[in-house]
Amino acid sequence: MQTDAARGGATFSSGMEAATNYNTWIVEGFAPFIGKAVLEVGVGHGNFAKLLERYGASYVGVDIDPALVENARAANPGNRYLTADVTAPEILEATKGLHFDTVLACNVLEHLSDDGAAVRNLLTLLPRGGHLLIYVPAFTGLYNALDRLAGHHRRYSRESVAALVPPDLGGIVRLDYVNPIGGLGWWLTGVLRPGLSDLDQVNGQIALFDRYIVPLSRLLSPPLAKIFGQSIAAVVRRR
């Protein structure tokens, strides 16, 4: 699975990492399900760790990319970070002796060739009643040059997310589309800039979106939760 790491680690948008309003919105949406001990899968540049600290949970981060792990450790020296592939049995060995009641996988599964194996492994880490929090890009029809630049293997529907959950391990308690305006923007970018080849070109757009559009998209998300959005937020409870 090193290919996944190379693509994921090499294609982060600095604009998304700096999108404070958007990232805060994601974490706040999962707030009712954040427990006392969180494992974050895919640590990025470590900014989600700071957002999760607000909920008083202990934190461990894991990523397949050693460089990202080192960067996150430097940014948050008080946290624990692990290097492991969540699609392989090594994640179970790497976390042996550690206990989590919450696993967060935000914009991670779309980077993995075997997303089903990742979901099964992450649910296996949880005790009964624990929660796996999933955030992934939505709608196959929106797949465009931005997805390719970001190293996405796929986009999802509510049905395809549900199909990832082994019935013997978990049950879905939330499955919603979020960010409808972002979805329209993603589609429009694909139409107007089909040959986009530099992720940094969109960072200015991301900053404007984060500052001015996120508040409006937050208002529109609840009534459109079962219809349309740029992403899907899912909560799976361990059986």
Sheet containing 80-83: order of strands: 80-83, 58-63, 37-41, 102-106, 131-137, 231-238, 170-178
Paired strand residues for 208:
none
pLDDT for residue 14: 58
Instruction: Give pLDDT, residue 9.
Output: 55
pLDDT class for 195, splitting at 50, 70, 90? Answer: confident
At 58, give phi and psi (nearest 5°). Answer: -70, 155
Of the candidates 44, 35, 90, the one whose C-alpha atom is nearest the C-alpha of residue 63 is 44
Full residue range of the structural domain in which residue 129 is found:
2-238
pLDDT confidence band for 1 (50 / 70 / 90): very low
Is residue 140 very low, low, confident or very high in pLDDT (cuts 50, 70, 90)?
very high
* CATH number of the domain to which 74 belongs: 3.40.50.150
- The average pLDDT across 34-55 equals 93
Residues in contact with 14: Cβ distance below 8 Å, sequence separation at least 6, in sequence order: 200, 203
Least confident of 67-71, 94-98, 154-158, 200-204: 200-204
Domain count, the chain: 1
Q: Over the stretch 52-95, which tens digit does the pLDDT of each residue have? A: 999 999 999 999 999 999 999 999 999 999 999 999 999 999 99
Beta partners for residue 237, in sequence order: 131, 171
Q: What is the 3-state secondary structure (H, E, C) of 131-199?
A: EEEEEEEECHHHCCHHHHHCCCCCCECHHHHHHCCCCCCEEEEEEEEECHHHHHHHHHHHHHCCCCCCH
